[in-house]
Amino acid sequence: MRELGVRPGDPAIPVFPFTISATGKTYIAKGFDDRVGCGLFIDVIKRLVNEKHPNTVYGVGTVQEEVGLRGARTSSWVVEPDVGLTMEVGVAGDVPDVKKDDAQGKLGKGPVIVIRDGSMIPNLRLRDLFVETAEELGIPYQFDSLDRGGTDSGAIHLHRQGVPNLVVAVPTRHIHSHAGIIHREDYDHTVELVRAVVIRLNSETVADLTK
């Protein structure tokens, strides 16, 4: 490939334009892992701009998660978070040849609350706050547990004396391919759920997470 000017280590990006399915409900695109996460925190912050809440909210698009959670480690020192929320894609298990124990998320069934992955067991009171908020607002949700792999939460929850953390995800088919698939309602419900929880995270609630 040298005659084309391509060298070992150069990034390659497949041509796969963003596509909306015929139903208008599912989106197909490359790199949903983790452009979805970046989109989530941008939309959450946009919705919080005109709302009264007690928090300073940071959205961080980290780097090198797959090779050591490096961006999560450095950004934790910059932000010094009281609570960390990792917004991700979840592995949708509603495709052929995926065992139920490997991935429980399904498209169209709401945000995924991750109760365990290879890098972290979440703060259970923070998990309960998400569940209670979802049920109060009528937001559908689902749980998932991953034996393999991890997220930026693996680094964030170990920062300093520890940071209460939770992974909230949009179920996504074919996450490491150039043709990932998400359901728009799952995305919108995730934005609404995170927004609602952030509003409830006052100093008393945050202190209760680690009692």
Q: Which residues contact 58 (CB under 8 A, 6 or more apart)?
A: 79, 81
Task: Give the H or E element holding residue 32.
Answer: helix 32-48
Q: Which residues contact 99 (CB under 8 A, 6 or more apart)?
A: 93
Active site positions, annotated: 65
Name beta bridge partners: 116. 145
Torsion of CA 190, 191, 192, 196, to 10 degrees: 100
Three-class SS state of 5: coil
